[in-house]
């Protein structure tokens, strides 16, 4: 038990250090960026120096850089991400209002890309038809090389403007609440395509390695059918690298949602992030990055723990450590 607690403690400490490093770097970069957030707030309207000083003091921008950084860092750890320069609303409320829309695209993209990646990678590794393996591998390389924003624009041109089958932008018809299914199709395809290609390549390589192991020869010598050997014996072993890849994949999908939401006009965190950059609303920019960072860190922690439970080698090491600890306690 101590070994498991120690592993979790190390993961948490490293995650907190990474979290602080991300906040520090981004905070300094935004401070060094050109422009005046107060001028962006008021627009082209001329203001007096006294009024500008009043607004600057209201947002705490008159304090030294190190003091503003420490105040912001302390507020973040208490769940306070500040207020938007543009709307004067709490940043956390703005982000949470958009988070559901982003997850509505990210979760289906993740599930679809993982499922198709496992299936296509397994077929490419197992098939004896060289043209099928070459076709799947070549398509995976080509699709992985295509930028998702370019793919999104091509899908809009083909299926929306030319064929008229699907809408171009938004999440629902004008005046309608919620999310309409037909508005999700193109963004999900765009977000999932590159991930399907990447996971297919990883799964193919992992499956080929798994099929070359001795236990596969033993299963074949018992007279098991090729399909049973593949899906019952080779697949569980080949899925171990996919556990790690899947954790990172969700981070890539969330990061890629910034451009995809911009292309499709999807009102999620990505579009909020881009709009905040244009308005020099640093609090919202920092808030979106912090929420995404926390999400990715949590997913990676869970992935690491799940991998330790799934992988029999790591599980046996942990079991031996626990057993040796108990023996020492009993002998003492």
Please state the rounded mean pLDDT for residues 206-210.
87
Examine the pLDDT at 7 and tell me if it is beyond 50: yes
In this predicted structure, the answer to whether residue 154 has a pLDDT above a threshold of 90 is yes
User: What tokens does 102 get?
Assistant: 């982003």
List phi, psi (to 5°) of 90. Answer: -60, 130
Question: What's the confidence (pLDDT) of residue 1?
Answer: 57
What pLDDT, on the 0 to 100 scale, is given for residue 330? Answer: 46
Please give the Cα distance from 316 to 324 (Å, whole number): 12
Query: To which H or E segment does residue 41 belong?
Result: helix 37-42
The CA distance from 288 to 300, in Å, is 18
Q: What percent of the chain has pLDDT over 90?
A: 14
Give Cα 149 distance to the centre of its chain: 16
Give the residue with greater pLDDT, 37 vs 81: 81
Confidence at residue 38, expressed as pLDDT on a 0 to 100 scale? 65
pLDDT at 22 > cutoff 50: yes
pTM (2 decimals)? 0.78
Query: Is pLDDT larger for residue 57 or for residue 120?
Result: 120
| Mean pLDDT for all residues in the chain | 81
Average pLDDT over residues 275-302: 85
What pLDDT is stored for residue 16 in this prediction?
A: 86
Q: What is the mean pLDDT of residues 95-124?
A: 90
Domains, the chain, in order of start with CATH, read 2-77 (no CATH), 99-331 (1.10.3720.10)
CA-based radius of gyration for the chain: 25
CA 35 to each of CA 45, 91, 250, 251: distance values in angstroms, whole numbers, following the listed order: 16, 21, 33, 30
CB 268 within 8 A of CB 102: yes
> What is the per-residue pLDDT across 113-142, written as a single tens digit (0 to 9) for each?
999 998 998 888 887 678 888 888 888 888
The answer to whether residues 282 and 30 touch, using CB atoms and an 8 Å cutoff, is yes
Most confident of 105-119, 208-222, 228-242, 305-319: 105-119
Mean pLDDT, to the nearest integer, of 18-24? Answer: 87
For residues 200 and 116, is the Cβ–Cβ distance under 8 A?
yes
Between 156 and 305, whose confidence is greater? 156
Residue 229 CA to its chain's centroid (Å): 33
pLDDT at residue number 57 = 72
Q: State pLDDT tens for residues 167-184.
A: 988 888 887 888 888 999
* pLDDT at res. 157: 93
pLDDT surpasses 60 at 23 = yes
300-332 pLDDT tens trace: 888 877 776 666 555 555 555 545 555 444 455
User: What number is the average pLDDT over the span 258-275?
Assistant: 89
Cα–Cα distance, 151 to 145 (Å, whole number): 10
Tell me the three state secondary structure of residue 56: helix
């Amino acid at each position: 038990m101590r070994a498991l607690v120690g592993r979790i403690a190390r993961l948490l400490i490293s995650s907190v250090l990474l979290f602080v490093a991300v906040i520090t770097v981004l905070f300094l970069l935004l401070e060094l960026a050109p422009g005046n957030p107060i001028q962006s707030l008021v627009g082209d309207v001329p203001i007096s120096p006294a009024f500008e000083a009043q607004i600057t003091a209201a947002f705490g921008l008159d304090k030294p850089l190190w003091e503003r950084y420490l105040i912001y860092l302390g507020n973040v750890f208490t769940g306070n991400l500040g207020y938007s320069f543009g709307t004067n609303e709490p940043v956390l409320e703005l982000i949470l209002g958009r988070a559901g829309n982003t997850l509505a695209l990210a979760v289906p993209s993740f599930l679809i890309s993982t499922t198709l990646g496992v299936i296509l990678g397994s077929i490419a590794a197992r098939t004896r038809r060289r043209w099928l393996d070459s076709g799947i591998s070549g398509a995976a390389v080509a699709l992985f090389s295509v930028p998702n924003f370019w793919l999104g624009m091509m899908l809009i041109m083909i299926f929306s403007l030319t064929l008229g089958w699907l809408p171009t932008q938004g999440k629902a018809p004008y005046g309608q609440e919620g999310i309409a299914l037909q508005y999700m199709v193109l963004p999900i395809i765009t977000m999932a395509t590159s991930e399907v290609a990447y996971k297919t390549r990883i799964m193919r390589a992992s499956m080929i390695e798994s099929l070359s192991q001795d236990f596969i020869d033993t299963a074949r010598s018992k007279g098991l059918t090729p399909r049973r050997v593949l899906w019952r014996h080779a697949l569980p072993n080949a899925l171990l690298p996919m556990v790690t890849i899947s954790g990172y994949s969700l981070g890539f999908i969330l990061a890629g949602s910034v451009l995809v939401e911009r292309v499709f006009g999807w009102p999620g965190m990505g579009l909020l992030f881009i709009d905040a950059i244009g308005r020099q609303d640093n609090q919202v920019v920092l808030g979106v990055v912090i929420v995404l960072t926390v999400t990715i860190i949590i997913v990676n922690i869970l992935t690491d723990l799940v991998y330790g439970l799934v992988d029999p080698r790591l599980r046996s090491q942990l079991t031996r450590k626990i057993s040796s600890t108990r023996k020492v306690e009993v002998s003492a």
